[in-house]
Structure 1
Amino acid sequence: MTALSGWGRTAPTRARLRTPATEAQAAQAVHSAGARGSVARGLGRSYGDAAQNAGGTVLDMTALSAIRSIDVQHGLVDCAAGVSLDTLMRVLMPLGWFVPVTPGTRYVTVGGAIAADIHGKNHHLSGSFGRHVRSLDLLGADGEVRTLTPEGDPELFWATASGMGLTGVILSAKIQLLPVQSALMSVDTERAVDLDDLMDRLESADHRYRYSVAWIDLLARGAATGRAVLTRGDHATVDQLDVRSRRDPLALRTPRLPPVPRGVPSHLLNTRTVAAFNTLWYRKAPRERRGQLQKISTFFHPLDGLPEWNRIYGPGGFVQYQFVVPPSEHGALRRIIETISRHRCPTFLAVLKRFGPGDPGWLSFPMPGWTLALDIPTTLPGLAGLLDRLDEHVLAAGGRIYLAKDSRLRPHTLAEMYPRLGEFRELRARIDPDRRFTSDLARRLDL
């Protein structure tokens, strides 16, 4: 048995880890999994327990990592589910194409991106990852492999594209890509003095940018509550580049620092140190700067340059809490931020975005509105009670919690957050009556 946990390292469990090198081996691993079933796992970047299966089987899909074909003319890639977004970026960028959606880390597999229906800074314009999947191959509980499309198999396709790996094992997919002229971003940066200022700026100008995100200081109080640094941009065109960058505009550079060492003490991140960091980060940001050229890794994946950055939180790990509330719920968002600030949560990784229209996935997280994600060390006193209070605010506002980051949500609240949960459960019972596919998340929340 192998100990496995999510990126937050909060709820490790043990399972038999299998690493299939072929689709036939994946089918055999599912068939021989036993009563505790199986679940697929990619690079382990879900923060909670979605890719764990205590006492059962976990399929490490990273060996299935072939890029089968690339249609350079039409921007379509056919690849195995274990291919990472990092690999796709490195292969596709020199050809003038980019992945349609990327989260805050590029170390996510294609299978994981589909199963969690990941979103990024461009959701307000482009939706989540599932919208860009043209077809996928799914290994079902009966051992059959089915090719699913949104048009031909909408029920099973959209239950899978957000289904957290519980409808079967995603083996491969065809993905529509985004054309780009360079590997650099043209970025506008500005400071917002408080939460009202931040929301006004986001609502009034987000439509002008493909990508938009705000880092928010959740320790600021009083008149500065909700102060933030807003960064928005798009892929730079060749005519926006300097002379040096024009020599090789599609060269992708992703610098990496040494990994965070083991044994970081839990007390390193406390209210005092994080408050000092947040103040410094806010003040060093420009009041307004237009058209700065940034590397893709700087704009999208700053933490990927620091391997094993989750060790910063010490041996106890951390909880990542992400929610979304409807666009009219300014008051709910303010109450939540004020609650976090009063509790003095030592969080320096807090980002606020606006989501666009909801996605078709039955368990897709995004819905129109405001989404806030924050990391909280597990050592924070009163953490469980704080998160329960935040859940109550989210529910009262008609919002929901992101399952790919959850490790502690109470199951009775789930149906109120996800209106198609009943249909999802019925479909699972129909296509997988013996529960060949399951996970710690599925058992905890009765998915």
Structure 2
Amino acid sequence: MVKTTNAAGTFGCHVLKFELVRSSGEHLICSPEQHSELFRATIGGLGLTGVILWAEFRLRKIVNPFIDMESIRFDSLDEFFELSAASDKDYDYTVSWVDLLIGGDKLCRGKFSRGNHNQDPELAKKYKPKKLPLMVPIDFPSFALNTYTVKAFNEAYYHVQLEKHVSKVVPYDPFFYPLDAIHNWNRIYGKRGFFQYQFVVPFEHGREAMHKCIQHIQQAGEGSFLTVLKQFGHIKSPGMLSFPRPGITLALDFSNHGQRTRTFMNELDRIVEDNGGVLYPAKDARMSPESFKKYYPQWQEFEQYIDPKFSSSFWRRVTEGTDRTTPMYI
């Protein structure tokens, strides 16, 4: 559940240049001024343009590894939008965990996290790396993760914060990477794995689209215990195929129940498409060629920059129609 900043843009916005090696043996320095089109193609380019030997990017100076964090419980989708609007100006990082299985007119509830870098230089001396994380030792049986267990987890996670609004100083790692506290968390989904699903819809369709998507997820009983809702800012990524764009994004994990899950996601695709949204290629395991070409009409421009000796199951699937469905086992 990585926090994002609306004010700074994507990581690609801060890449200054890099060295790209092509299968021909050619070494190219790519930047907005040198080999600029290959630079644009490589950022968000799904690893298809060559091998990056090194990259130079701009960093922000911080005085310690702590974050001034606020966590706010919210009880509806409308309240999430209110918190997002109120947080844009004053907070560098925002994200929310949401429970989509509560039902009713409010559609969801959750915890909205926002934060800024702490400015106390004395705290730099107090940071201690966390001890070894917890571990999921075995693959859970397929029946272990279902609507009832996800609801139970969501209930516990929502109420573990007793107060509506909590402010505290926290280390950067649990703030940015909470899942790192549990190794092999993917084994909760069992041997059949899971599908990652993330989409973004433009602001002008955001409320309506999220209402429809959440209702569809609720009706199908396809809950996800890790569901992230956040908004992307208006700074355009330099990447030719970059996913982030102004709008609202929802990221979920769906247990792999075979054709039932694929049919459900195909129906969810149509809601996303009808509202001007797109899916995230880097997390995708079953996007159709038709959908990909609709989401990313610039794919043909990008294709001319692919290294001729490079390919991937994703690219073959969305351009040739092969390797159509692969569940995630990360």
With normalisation by structure 2, the TM-score equals 0.91
Equivalence for 1:361:
239
Alpha-carbon distance between aligned partners in 2 of 1:269 and 1:229, rounded to the nearest angstrom: 22
Which residue of 277, 281, 284 corresponds with 2:153? Answer: 277
Do the aligned partners of residues 290 and 305 (structure 1) sit closer, same or farther apart at CA in structure 2, a change above 3 Å counting?
closer
Q: Residue 441 in 1 paired to residue 310 in 2? A: no
Equivalence for 1:422:
300
RMSD over aligned Cα atoms? 1.8
Do the aligned partners of residues 349 and 247 (structure 1) sit closer, same or farther apart at CA in structure 2, a change above 3 Å counting?
closer
Q: Number of matched residues?
A: 318
Following TM superposition, the consecutive aligned residue runs of length 4 or more in structure 1 with deviations greater than 4 angstroms are none
1:162 offset after TM fit, Å?
0.8
1:380 offset after TM fit, Å?
7.2
1:193 offset after TM fit, Å?
0.9
Contact preservation (8 Å) 1:326, 1:398: yes
Alignment of 1:11-410 (within 5 A): 104=1, 121-238=3-120, 246=123, 248-249=125-126, 251=127, 253-329=129-205, 330-357=207-234, 358-379=236-257, 382-410=260-288
1:223 offset after TM fit, Å?
3.4
Do the aligned partners of residues 322 and 233 (structure 1) sit closer, same or farther apart at CA in structure 2, a change above 3 Å counting?
same
1:288 offset after TM fit, Å?
3.4
Gaps of 5+ in 1: 1-103, 105-119, 240-244
1:370 offset after TM fit, Å?
0.2
State the Cα deviation string for residues 398-436 of structure 1 (Å, max 9, x = none). 1111111000001111122113212112333xxx4xx30
State the Cα deviation string for residues 139-178 of structure 1 (Å, max 9, x = none). 1132111111122222100100111111111121112112
Alpha-carbon distance between aligned partners in 2 of 1:398 and 1:319, rounded to the nearest angstrom: 22
State the Cα deviation string for residues 287-332 of structure 1 (Å, max 9, x = none). 4335311121211111112111111111011111000000111101
Contact preservation (8 Å) 1:349, 1:374: yes
Helix, strand or coil for the counterpart of 1:179? coil
Alignment of 1:1-16 (within 5 A): none
1:203 offset after TM fit, Å?
1.8
Contact preservation (8 Å) 1:215, 1:349: yes
Alpha-carbon distance between aligned partners in 2 of 1:319 and 1:197, rounded to the nearest angstrom: 28
Structure ranking higher on relative contact order (CA contacts 8 Å, 6+ apart): 2
Do the aligned partners of residues 445 and 139 (structure 1) sit closer, same or farther apart at CA in structure 2, a change above 3 Å counting?
same
1:263 offset after TM fit, Å?
3.1
Do the aligned partners of residues 247 and 147 (structure 1) sit closer, same or farther apart at CA in structure 2, a change above 3 Å counting?
closer
1:285 offset after TM fit, Å?
2.3
1:257 offset after TM fit, Å?
2.1
1:266 offset after TM fit, Å?
1.8
State the AA in 2 paired with 1:443: R
State the AA in 1 paired with 2:151: A
State the Cα deviation string for residues 95-138 of structure 1 (Å, max 9, x = none). xxxxxxxxx4xxxxxxxxxxxxxxx5234111111111111111
Contact preservation (8 Å) 2:192, 2:256: yes
Gaps of 5+ in 2: 321-330
Alpha-carbon distance between aligned partners in 2 of 1:443 and 1:170, rounded to the nearest angstrom: 22
Do the aligned partners of residues 333 and 224 (structure 1) sit closer, same or farther apart at CA in structure 2, a change above 3 Å counting?
closer
Contact preservation (8 Å) 2:195, 2:285: yes
Q: What percentage of aligned pairs have identical amino acids?
A: 37
Alpha-carbon distance between aligned partners in 1 of 2:54 and 2:216, rounded to the nearest angstrom: 43
Do the aligned partners of residues 173 and 252 (structure 1) sit closer, same or farther apart at CA in structure 2, a change above 3 Å counting?
farther
Do the aligned partners of residues 229 and 258 (structure 1) sit closer, same or farther apart at CA in structure 2, a change above 3 Å counting?
closer
Alpha-carbon distance between aligned partners in 2 of 1:424 and 1:234, rounded to the nearest angstrom: 36
